[in-house]
Every structure is written in C-alpha cells, then in structure tokens.
A and B are shown apart, each in its own frame.
Chain A
Amino acid sequence: MDRLAYDIVVVGGGAAGLRAAIAAAESDPKLTIGLVSKVYPMRSHTVSAEGGTAAVMREYDNFELHCLDTIKGSDYLADQDAVEFFVAHCPEEIIQLDHWGLPWSRDDDGKIEQRAFGGMSVKRTCFAADKIGFHILHTLFQTSMKYPQIVRHDEWFVTDLIVENGAAAGVVALDIRRGELSYINAKAVVLATGGAGRVYEFTTNGFIKTGDGMALAYRAGVPLKDMEMVQFHPTCLPGTGILITEAARGEGGTLINKDGERFMKTYLPGKMELGPRDILSRSEIQEIRAGRGFEGPHGAYVGLDLRHLGEKAIDERLPMVRELAEKYLGLDPIHEPIPVRPGQHYIMGGVSTNMHGETNVPGLYAVGETACVTINGANRLGSNSLSECLVFGTATGLSATTYAKKTDWPRGTAAKEALAKEEARIFGGLMKREVGKESVSAIRKEMQQIMDRDVGIFRDEKGLTDACAKLATLRQRFADVGVADKDRVFNTELTQALELDFMLDVAQAIAWSALNRRESRGAHSRTDYTNRDDANYLKHSLAFRADGAPRIDYLPVTITKWQPQARKY
C-alpha cells in the first residue's frame, strides 16, 4: 500500500477535472496536485462531444442574450447569478484553449467560427468540425503534461471519500492494475467524475459514465440537486444510442416523419428543428405514437435529413456524422435520411455546489457534469456544458487552491479507518462472496430498463412510484452480488460491481426527486401534472441519502434580472 499526499486531489480527467488541475497548477506552482482517473484521461467521455462550446465572441451577440437563452432554456430553474458568472467567463476560456493549441474551425478572417445551436438565439457555438469534445479533451490533457506538479494516477478507481472532522481529507482508491487499495491524503478534493447516463439503457453516454462522484458525495452527506432533470437528446442512432450532433440541425438538417414532412411545424413552428432538446424529444415521441414514425429493427424512429446540405458542407463541417452513419448504419447521409430517436444524454442535476464549486463539506468540491451549480436548470442548452466544464473548472481549481493554502494537512487517522472499511467492503465482502444467483449484469440491466420505462421522457405518479419500489428491491438484491473473478489484477468485474453500487444510489435519487416534483418543467415532463407550477416548484430539489428512500428537500432558485415567464419559442 502506498501512502500518498497532495495539496489537491482531482478525481476525474475529463474536461472539468483537467481544467481544474491546470488552473490550480498555474495559480501556484508549489502546490502538488494528484489527478486520479479510472481511465487514461483521454478516454474520458468528454471525448465524444461533437457539436461545440458556447461563448459570446462577436459583435452581434452579448452577455444578456446568452444569459436569457440559458435561463429560458432552463425553464427558469437556473440560478441566475451563476448564469451571469458563467456567461461572462466563457469567452476567455475559448481564447485560452486557442492559446493551448485547440484546432478551432476558422472563418476566412482567421477568427474562431461560430455555428447555430438549439435554443441559442444567435450563432454562438464555437466548434472544431464536429469533434469539439475530442479536441478539448486532448488539448487539455496534452497541456496538463507540461506541469510536473500534476501527478497522474491513471486507471485508479476512487471508491470512497475520506472525511476528517467534518472536512474532506482525501480519497480511497483502487489501483486497478495492481488490484490494491490505497488512500491519498489531501487538503482539498475536487470531484469531476462526469455524468451518470449509464443508469439508463438507451443512452449516448459511454460505459464509464456511472455517476461515481455523485454517489461518493451523496454518501458523504452532500445533497444531490435537481436529479429529476435528465436530458434526452432527440437524435440518437437506434440500437446503439450513438449521438448525431445537434450541429447537424444547426447546419440546416431537418427532422422528417415517414411521410417526408417536417413535423416540427406542428409542435414548434417558431424554432422548428432548432428548438430546445426537451421539446424536440417529446415531439418525436408524440409523432411516433401518432403512427407517423418509420419502423426499423430497433423500433420506431424518425428521419434526420441532411441531403439538401450537399457533400461538401457535410464533409467540411460534419465529417463525423457521415463517418458514424456510414460505419454503424451503412448509409450515406448525402443520399438518405439518418434514422434517429431520443435517448438519455445528460444529467442536469448533480452534486449540489455554488459557483465556486464548494459543497456543504469544507474542502470538498465538485465540477462538470457531476456537479449542479446550477446553470442548466431543468434543461441544458446544447454547447453550454463544455463551457460549463471550462468556466467552473477554472473557478473550482482556484477556490480549491485558496482553500488548500490556508488549510493544514489532515492527521490521517480518518484515512486509515476509511481504508480499513473499504478493504472490508471490497476484498472482504464483494470479492469473497460466493457467486450466487445475482449478477452485476442482470441487476444493471433491470435498473436500466426501469429507468428507461418509468423515469424517461414522459413520467407519471404510478410509473415513478413503481420505479422507486423496484429500485429499492434491486438495492437489496445487490447485497447478494459476488465477483466470480478472484484475480485482483485489473478486475473489471469488480469495478463494474462498484459502479453498479454507485449507479443504484444515483438512480434512486433521480426517481425519488422525479416522484416528488409534481409539475412539468423543462425535461421533467409529467403526464399527470402537465403545467409548470411556479407557486410550488420554482425551487431546486435536494436529495439526501438516508436509510431506505432518499430524503427530499428544497432550495430556492436565485433570480436576479429575469422574472419567470411562460416558456414560448
């Protein structure tokens, strides 16, 4: 076992974690920073983002407008002070990435180009063809290699947070390659572990997006905020759930039903295909339910039509869309519409933090998709999330630095206890347990199906109650899960079991928060309460971990300039 200590431990090597680590490294070169990630950082799911990242960069645009779009998109559930802070800091992050070498797509005048995106009223999304996440991730990762004070622990899986005297004091992590647990002492811990899309079956998210950081914080007594707010993206490939970027519509792609009609004219004539995602996803489902979808081997779908854009535009601006369609569907979008249907995409909710990434546990920070600041409220606008990772990554890295500098090293007693506890839970429990009738894959699949069916795009009291009860049973059944692979080295069966354990917590938080919000707002659409109810629910849900069901509480929304109005496009 190693004894390790860093001033700051960052858990997660995606856009948010890397940005936080670099901000900390740049602000004080004497600080030591441990970067712990369960995969090599460039495998983080940030890599899959396609469309772009938002910032006010041109004369035709302004901060007020970006704020308004974001707040309206959020169905007024965003905290407006956070949105103002966010919008004001986006442009500098874009420029910083340019200075670090990101291959932005450019205008003929040499400046960073911008494209249209759903819910944004002007062209505001900076992009790098359709591989923005890939380029942000690799640029940040490669830049992070410059700083010797950032020490990486690649393929280390954090299993628990260490809390000493009520403050964060480090993490317990499994070195996957050696199959050993260690503790890492730290003055400040930043959670940047990304989303939790894999609690659903049909999702655009990668296999590693299992909500670990949310569950870690939740177990340490931090509430999860607005967990019922789950985004479904309107254009995913049936079968795999692979995403076709919104940029396809930003560049002029249209949605058609089996009669070749642009059906959005019935649902959202003002914005058509460039409406916000929640509305588009619901419209597609309604269209399919009305019998106007196409039928395919993986169920009904609608068509995303790019044919009129022409080969040149597609190759220059959407090469990955063509690559994915050719590869996975064997069709060329130049000649045929792409089959699409809505799938889980993003979790607006997450670890409850303020604008500085602080949680209610001193020294514990969260940032990125795993956190909920909140700027996304009930519905995130496409391309705001990478910007969020960057802006709040920097802010959080800096506040963790300030905190670490004025804090003493933890004594380390809590670390030893936490390690012993984890040893017992993992190597004494999970690994020792005989393999019985319960398997990780079966429970995971059941959980995902429950979430897809009852906590999906449309929800109601009966389905949600049912889901809550079933998830509770799964939680009990999980206690009987054993790991067949007894070889400690690189034990992915073990890490999948640990991930499922985290996901079950997250799924319960989502289902209970959804059950308790008896209104429809943004992505949370209840067929039994179809209207937004500002009198009772203009507030954030907070889920606290408790025995059995989570305890749900509420927190007021911060309103600065923009009074809630009906959300009309």
Chain B
Amino acid sequence: MAGEKSITFRVRRYQPQGTKGPYYQDYNVPYRDDEVVLDGLNYIKDQLDPTLTFRWSCRMGICGSCGMDVNGSPKLTCGTFIRDAGRGGVVQVDPLTSFNSIKDLVTDFDPFMDHFAHVKPWLIREKEKPVAQGEYLQYPEDLTAYRQQSLCINCTLCYAACPVFQGDDRFVGPASLAMALRYIRDTRDQGAEQRFERISTEHGIWECTFVGECSVVCPKEVDPAGAIQTLKLMATTRRMRKLLMPKSAPR
C-alpha cells in the first residue's frame, strides 16, 4: 500500500489484561484514494503494530463485522474511504458506541444477539407444510412488503447510533425490531401475535422516541426507524380491533 499521501490514524486502544484503561494511539498511514479505513487498519496490523485488534472478513459490506466509530459516527470501515474520513488530517477510530469493548476495537456482541433472538427471528407456522407439497406462492408485491427489512446485516451500527439504547440497554433496539416486522409482513408467517407479545412492551417498540438516527446510519437502507413506527401503528390497530371487535381480531 505504498501511496504518496499519508494520514494519521488515531485509534482507541484497550488491552483487557493490561493495567491501563482505554487510550489513544496514533499511527501514520500512507493511502491511496481507493482505499478504505479498513485497509488502513490492516496496514497498521501488518506493517506497524500486529497487536491492533479488530474484526473483519468480507471487505465488501455484507458480513457486518467491521462496524466502528469513524470520527464519531458509526460506519462500516470497509465501506468508508480514507479520503472522505480524514478530518483535519486525522482519522479517529473508536469501537462502536453503546457496547462495551472487549479489546481495542472489538465490542461485546452478545447483548445484540440476545435482543435479536428475543423477537423470534424465524418463520412461525401453526402447521408446517410438507416439502413435497412445494413452495408457498408469493407474488413480487408480497416480497416488496418485507424485502427491505430482510436486508439487515446485523452490523449493529443502528444500536450504536440510538440514544435510547445508549440510555437503557434493555431496549430491544432498532435492528431486532425491524426483523420482527420483516417476519410479520411475510405472507408465509403466522407468528405476528407471538411477536407482538414480545415487542409491544415497555422496552420494545414503545421505548422508541423516533430519533431516526438508526435509519440515517444504516448501511443497507433497512430503515429500522420507519419499521418501528409501522409496528407501533400495527400494534395500535390490532389493540383497537381486539377491543372493538373481539370476534374478528387478527391472529
């Protein structure tokens, strides 16, 4: 990566077995215009300091492992160009906010996994259809109804951006709630009732104050903020129907 230009990477370090708390370390990184922040981190790891610790794999914005705070905003580092990130000649890289850091830029991912599992993110059927009977029919417009929310890569940038989650980590949170909508809207699914029981709660959709930042930072246009507002509307109409027309209440 021998480029003519160079820039300072200011990286937050933290060694759990060391005696120090988190601190910043500066590295001088040469770069080309087509290189991303992740390339810079790999340059540091391979050439300057093998102890620098971060997660990555696909380098094409689809595996969701390389989320970090770049100059204070949650980003996929494999999709953020160094040329755009530099601010006053410095690229500051921190672990994603909202989560504890295990080491350097690696955050604790388990809290997310727990919230995610909470919404039952799988297709629920009252009775499974035997495979021999073929596929469920689903029309292109049925697909459009849930496609957007099915694109979530679980990168947790939205959690990092959410002030509600920052204030209360019991909040189920943007991506998980969006996933609930993804299954509820799927014509093959029959689990809406079970999911609303889990999410139409104090720490579920009703804790969201619609800051909207999750949808701004989401790299995949999942629009979790929009999804949560939709869920609020759906939960309310279901509730009203149950009250007014108990017999015709939806499943």
Contacts and interface: CB of A to CB of B under 8 A. Distances in A.
B154 A101 contact: no
Contact of B150 (A94, A95, A103): A103
Contact of B122 (A48, A94, A95, A146): A146
Given A94-B135, A104-B135, 6 more contacts: A39-B63, A240-B59, A324-B60, A439-B50, A484-B51, A492-B54
Nearest to A207: B57
Nearest to A133: B62
B79 interface: yes
A262 interface: no
Contacts of B63: 39, 42-45, 47-48, 206
Nearest to B117: A145
Interface string A112-153: 100000000000000000010011001000110110000000
A440 B122 CA distance: 41
Interface of A: 39-40, 42-45, 47-48, 92, 94-96, 98-101, 103-106, 108-112, 131, 134-135, 138, 142-143, 145-146, 154, 177, 206-208, 239-240, 242-243, 297, 323-324, 327-329, 439-441, 445, 483-485, 487-493
A100 to B, nearest CB: 6
Interface in B160-193: 183, 186, 188-189
Contacts of A177: 102
Given A101-B188, A327-B79, A441 B50 contact: yes
B186 A92 contact: no
Most buried by A among B54, B106, B122: B122
Contacts of A487: 15-18, 51, 103
A15 to B, nearest CB: 14
A44 B57 CA distance: 8
Contact of A490 (B32, B106, B140): B106
B46 interface: yes
Contact of B57 (A45, A105, A138, A493): A45
A45 B60 CA distance: 11
Contacts of A327: 61, 79
A109 B61 CA distance: 33
11 contacts: A42-B64, A47-B62, A98-B136, A99-B129, A103-B146, A105-B143, A106-B142, A111-B137, A143-B122, A441-B45, A493-B45
A48 B60 CA distance: 8
B147 A103 contact: yes
A44 to B, nearest CB: 8
Nearest to B17: A487
Interface of B: 15-18, 32, 34, 45-47, 50-51, 53-65, 79, 102-103, 106, 109, 113, 117, 121-123, 125, 128-129, 131-132, 134-140, 142-143, 146-147, 150-151, 153-154, 183, 186, 188-189
Contacts of A439: 50
The 5 closest A-B pairs by CB, nearest first: A110-B137, A101-B123, A441-B46, A485-B51, A206-B57
A429 to B, nearest CB: 17
Contacts of A242: 59-60
B154 A42 contact: yes
- Label chain B's interface by main secondary structure: loop
A490 B50 contact: no
Contacts of B143: 103-106
B50 A45 contact: no
A48 B58 contact: yes
A109 to B, nearest CB: 8
Nearest to B38: A207
Given A490-B102, A490-B106, A47 B147 contact: no
Nearest to B147: A103
A142 B122 contact: yes
A368 to B, nearest CB: 16
Nearest to B188: A101
Contacts of B50: 439-441, 483-485, 493
A323 to B, nearest CB: 8
B131 A99 contact: yes
Nearest to B79: A327
A135 B106 contact: no
B122 A101 contact: yes
Nearest to B65: A43
B98 to A, nearest CB: 17
A39 B64 CA distance: 11
A142 B152 CA distance: 12
Given A92-B131, A100-B122, A106 B109 contact: no
B103 A489 contact: yes
Nearest to A492: B53
A95 B134 contact: yes
A131 B102 contact: no
A379 to B, nearest CB: 24
B186 A101 contact: yes
Nearest to B34: A239
A490 B65 CA distance: 15
Contacts of A493: 45, 50-51, 53
A440 B46 CA distance: 8
B72 to A, nearest CB: 22
B202 to A, nearest CB: 24
A105 B141 CA distance: 11
B102 A101 contact: no
A109 B135 CA distance: 12
B121 to A, nearest CB: 5
Contacts of A101: 122-123, 183, 186, 188-189
B57 A208 contact: yes
A324 B78 CA distance: 12
A372 B154 CA distance: 31
Nearest to A484: B50
